[in-house]
Amino acid sequence: MDVAALRSKVTFQKNETVTDKYGNHKNAWTDYYTCFATIGGEGLASSKEEQTAGTTVEDFSMTVSVRYCQKVAAIDSTHFRVMFMGEIYNIVNIDHMNFQKKSLKFTCRKERR
């Protein structure tokens, strides 16, 4: 893994249940882990346009490669998402890179708001 390519700051967020001052429970995204990553594949063949409700929308996808650590190894695709440059990306797939415990690659799709 090329350490010099880790130049983009990403934040992994976790979906947790929080309690407000009245005791109500609700789901909220909280920051879980922030690190530097290599971003790849944005705007290439993995991105496409599609028609939704008569409107053409872009469907961006990208890969996020990070160094291995225990906090990153605990991330799954159902309870976590990625924040990059103020945009939200849902995790679609996690590649453990042959389980060598050197790096992890996350395939992400941009969330439409």
| Res. 4 pLDDT band, cuts 50 70 90 | confident
Domain presence at residue 1: no
pLDDT at 49: 64
H helices present in the chain, as ranges? 70-73
State the residue range of the domain holding 97: 7-110
Which DSSP state fits 98? G
**Confidence (pTM):** 0.82
| Number of domain units in the chain | 1
pLDDT digits (tens, 9 = 90+) for 24-55: 999 999 999 999 999 987 655 455 666 666 66
Q: What is the CATH number of the domain that holds 91?
A: 2.40.10.270
Q: Which of 75 and 2 is assigned the larger pLDDT?
A: 75
Between 57 and 99, residue with greater pLDDT: 99
* 11 is a domain residue: yes
Residues 64/108, Cβ–Cβ less than 8 Å:
yes
DSSP 8-state symbol, 101: S
In a domain, 2, yes or no: no
Domain contains 94:
yes
Quick check: is 83 in a domain?
yes
